[in-house]
Amino acid sequence: MSIVNTVREFLVATFWPWFKEYAWPIIKQHLIEIISSLVKIISEKIQGKMAEKASSQVNDFEVQAAKAEQSAMDSLDPNEIKKLKREAQIWREVAERLKKDNAALVKDLAEIAEKSKIDTINSLKNTELDIATEGENAIFTIGGTARSLPLVEGK
């Protein structure tokens, strides 16, 4: 038996069971922490951008409402005053609706992010690793997908 085969047999028979039992759970836990942190960071960035954009839009609508209200106060025509006050009211209603819609959207996105995180973590927790030898080939299996590992060329 060549030194390469001896080393490979050692890795498969001795190191691999130890790795699966002791190292893989630690690696999995670390990956879970990374996934959780990544989802949190991405969610916070998206929510921040949404809040910024929504705040800008709400501010624009409130400015339009104030302009209409000011125009109503400056007008002497009762019909124009009524029309401008109604316009100001509509702008305020639109601003309020936008606030509510954005709050609902932020909530929906948070739920989607949390569900995606949980699904990904569960998938990772259920990921099994295995390695086996078939003749000179080593077959590595992760999550049900098997791949032949390349042979180590002896020098």
The answer to whether the beta carbons of residues 8 and 138 sit under 8 Å apart is yes
In this model, does residue 144 exceed pLDDT 80? yes
Mean predicted confidence (pLDDT) in 130-139: 82
Domain parsing of the chain, residue ranges = 3-149
- Confidence label for 111 from pLDDT (cuts 50, 70 and 90): very high
In this model, does residue 8 exceed pLDDT 80? no
Question: What pLDDT is recorded for position 132?
Answer: 84
- CB-based burial, 135-146: b 16+ in 10 Å, e otherwise: eeebeeeeeeee
In this model, does residue 153 exceed pLDDT 70? no
Which pTM value belongs to this model? 0.70
What is the DSSP pairing of strand 145-149 with strand 137-142?
antiparallel
Q: Which residues touch 71 (CB under 8 Å, ≥6 apart)?
A: 84
pLDDT mean across residues, the chain = 90
In whole angstroms, give the CA distance from residue 55 to residue 74.
Answer: 28
In this model, does residue 27 exceed pLDDT 70? yes
In this model, does residue 155 exceed pLDDT 50? no
- CB-based burial, 90-99: b 16+ in 10 Å, e otherwise: ebbebbeebe
What are the phi and psi torsion angles at 140 (to 5°)? Answer: -100, 130
